[in-house]
Amino acid sequence: MINWSIREIEVYLSLAATLSFRRTAEQMHLSQPAVSGVITRLETNLGARLFDRNTRTVRLTSAGHALLVHARTLHAHAQAANAAVRDLVELREGQVRVAALPSLAATVVPAVFARFAIDHPGVRLDLLDTLSGASFELVRAGQVDFALTAENPAYADLTYAALASDPFVLLLPAGHPLATADRPLRWAEVIALPHISMPVRTSVRQYADEALLKLGRRFEPRYEVEHLASINAMVAAGLGVAALPELAALVARSTAVVQRRLVEPEVHRPIGLVTMQGRTLSAAAQAVARMLREEVSKVLHKPPVRSASALTRGHRPAQDKPVPPTPR
């Protein structure tokens, strides 16, 4: 069996180049007896003498010459492997794939990607904007490093690390009577208005449904559309109002639309990072995740949720707000 270390190969290559135990010892910061011990171990392992030596000369044997080319190749491959790992650790190259809710993919993620790309241009960044359920599946399938999404208790086999709590706001046409009220609005006073919302499978809709259930009411929006830009445009046109998480409301803003905080009940959409249990994120992925945590907190004007260790420990922090059984 081959039982060489890279250090032993380096000692052998140095001696083959210098043909001097003294100079090899100096180059390798070893004693001469230590150099002799390394060469003896190599020769014993190979079953062949690599150097002919006496008190005055050192020469490579035919076996020593035969080993030389291959030893140089082995050493070059070892150096390349070490450099490749260092490049990843020091963020000089690599790839990070992130899945994110559309509302997050259009707000916090681009800002983070832009800053990261300036500092680490050799690292490729990929973004998949998708709904919550699909993003969990992408993590489970190993197609992304992590997902930035709403919590879903149905995926207990994945790790969820809380980042922030995204409060709901109401979008109103700028000319609406309630738009002049410089105060939070209660769900009860806006439920009778025509609402524009997203389909049931989305996390936005399911948290809105939850809010009305707390009041013993059923949420029946007048319009259902897929895209946040469409919601904003319809509100601006005076077709209705829209209850959205604050981050989602940032996607399409205009002077024709105003926002008011929704209260009674206080409903928050928890936002977090989803990773595969037992899988350590690359250094680049950890850096992107850390920047996303900071960006989400900055946008929501709140200190970061202290659960970064959950990214690597598999911790699933408890939420202080009830969540729907199967958010999307």
Which of 95-104, 106-115, 119-128, 295-304 bottoms out in mean pLDDT, i.e. has the lowest?
295-304
- Cα 125 off chain centre by: 10
| pLDDT band, very low/low/confident/very high, at 318 (cuts 50, 70, 90) | very low
- Sign of the CA dihedral 115, 120, 122, 124? negative
Read off the pLDDT of each residue in 42-58 and give the average, rounded to a whole number.
90
Residues paired with 223 in a beta bridge: 196
Distance CA(313)–CA(276), nearest Å, equals: 10
Q: Which CATH number fits domain 6-89: 3.40.50.300, 3.10.310.30, 3.30.360.10, 1.10.10.10?
A: 1.10.10.10
pLDDT in tens, 232-273: 999 999 999 999 998 888 886 778 999 999 999 988 888 899
Burial class, 257, CB count within 10 angstroms (exposed 0-12 / middle 13-18 / buried 19+): buried
What is 166-268's CATH number? 3.40.190.10
Q: What is the pLDDT of residue 1?
A: 63
Is residue 317 scored above 50 in pLDDT? no
Domain 94-164+270-313: assigned CATH number? 3.40.190.10
- Count the neighbouring beta carbons within 10 Å of the beta carbon of residue 76: 10
pLDDT classification of 310: cutoffs 50, 70, 90: very low
Rounding to the nearest 10 degrees, give the CA dihedral for residues 250, 255, 256, 259.
50
pLDDT tens, residue by residue, 178-205:
988 889 999 999 999 999 999 988 888 8
Contact 196, 221 (CB under 8 A): yes
Q: Residue 308 pLDDT > 60, yes or no? A: no
| Percent of the chain clearing pLDDT 90 (strictly above) | 45
- In whole angstroms, give the CA distance from residue 248 to residue 48: 71
Give how far Cα 231 sits from Cα of 241, 249, 298, 311, Å.
9, 9, 25, 34
Q: How many Å is the maximal CA-CA distance in the chain?
A: 102
What gap in Å lies between CA 79 and CA 88, rounded to an integer? 14
Q: Where are the domains of the chain?
A: 6-89, 94-164+270-313, 166-268
Q: What pLDDT is recorded for position 250?
A: 84
Q: Are 130 and 138 in contact (CB under 8 A)?
A: yes
Does this chain's domain 6-89 share its CATH topology with 94-164+270-313? Answer: no
Residues with Cβ within 8 Å of 57's Cβ and at least 6 positions away in sequence, in order, are 19
Structure confidence by residue, pLDDT tens digits, 64-104: 999 998 998 888 888 878 777 776 666 777 889 999 998 89
Calculate the average pLDDT of the chain: 85
In the chain, what percentage of residues exceed pLDDT 70? 90
Of 283, 301, 269, which is closest to residue 162 (Cα–Cα)? 269
